Amino acid sequence: MTTTGARGEGSSAATYTRVVRTGVPSVHKGKSNGALIGIPFLLIVVGTVGIGAHRAYRAYEKEKLAHPSHNPFLP
């Protein structure tokens, strides 16, 4: 219950109102499934790291073939 009234107007009578929420689904009760929200972001991160690793590997192989004796990254 909330109390509303005129403040500072000399009115001592207060009116009581009741706010009723309608149309709000009560299936989830405020719970959200964090896994369903996080999975797409996780896939984006894993995909980005995978593509970067693949490109680095291809660049390494290309450099190894182009300059086999001048590559400081070779063992």
Which pLDDT score, from 0 to 100, does residue 63 have? 84
Residue with the bigger pLDDT between 24 and 67: it is: 67
Per-residue pLDDT at 8: 53
Burial class (CB in 10 A: 0-12, 13-18, 19+), 63: middle
Q: What is the pLDDT of residue 37?
A: 85
* 3-state class (DSSP) for residue 41: helix
Distance (Å, whole) CA 58 – CA 51: 11
Long-range contacts of 43-50 (CB under 8 A, 24+ apart): none
pLDDT of 1 reads 54
pLDDT tens column, 3-60: 555 555 555 677 878 877 776 666 656 566 877 888 999 999 999 999 999 999 999 8
SS3 content of the chain, % helix, strand, coil (to 5): 45, 10, 50
